[in-house]
Amino acid sequence: MAKISACIISFNEEKKIEDCLKSLLPVADEIIIVDSLRTEETIKIAEKYTNKIFHQKFLGHIEQKNLAVEKASNDWVISLDCDERLTDELQQSILSIKDQLEDNSADTYCMARKTFYIYRWLNHCWYPDTKTRLFNKNSAHWGGTNPHDRIITDGNNIVKLKGDIEHYSFDSLSAHLQTIDKFTEIGANEIIKKNKSVSLISPFTHAFWIFIKTYFIKRGFLDGFAGILVATLSSVHVFVKYSKVILKRKQEKQGLA
């Protein structure tokens, strides 16, 4: 039977990391944590579950996660964020295919992610939000564009497992707004770094499309008031991100950056 390394990155996650680690115990043979200059409480909790804790100033979501994968002693890796946990059904799905991993029957495994938003589960606007989280580190790695990382694999045989990743995202509206400010800053810098074209109408067109997609196409209206909040703030997120790109480029032209 193949062994699985669980890889996690953390930063001041004392409120959520323990439930994440508990959910990994039935399937993981080792747990790797890369912590971004943490609070002591986070580490005290983590030390109850693993002695493989590494400290690294935050390099970026993709870079930090790839560093955690490099530390894994097993080829097969399952990666979670601290605010995520495996359901019982997903644990059983992973255990049922564990003895097949060495036969390379699949290149990677994906699963649905279900989000708890402030006061309720989102059954539509952010669901199933399929994520690839179980993979062989020799043929897959973290890529994408910060802060929206994703697994890049050499193969195309991706098998979906039964069960969900439970995602405990935002505890309050304030937390969501703070994340929007942080992630739009990272996203805007990535767009500038890659020299992508952004016009004056980009904030409006992208924001309009995200609202339509989230609220109507994904049927976010069935998620009640949380659905309208998520659709609205998702559109605000992309509006602010592209607006920051425009403003940063204008500041740079005027020598103000």
Tens-binned pLDDT, residue by residue, of the chain (257 aa): 789 999 999 988 899 999 999 999 999 999 999 999 866 788 999 999 999 999 999 999 999 999 999 999 999 999 999 999 999 999 999 999 998 887 767 889 999 999 999 999 999 999 999 999 999 999 999 999 989 999 999 988 899 999 999 999 999 999 999 999 999 999 999 999 999 999 999 999 999 999 999 999 999 999 999 999 999 999 999 999 999 999 999 999 998 86
Strand runs labelled E in the chain: 4-10, 30-35, 53-55, 76-81, 84-86, 108-117, 120-122, 131-136, 140-145, 148-153, 158-168
- Cα dihedral value 208, 213, 217, 218, nearest 10: -140
Cα Rg, the chain, nearest whole Å: 19
| DSSP code, position 255 | T
Tell me which CATH code domain 4-168 carries. Answer: 3.90.550.10
pTM > 0.95: yes or no? no
Q: What are phi and psi of 151, to 5 degrees?
A: -80, 130
Integer CA distances (angstroms), 229 to 23, 33, 83, 196, in order: 29, 33, 20, 29
The ranges assigned to domains in the chain are 4-168, 173-253
∠ CA 244-235-84, nearest 5°, is 100
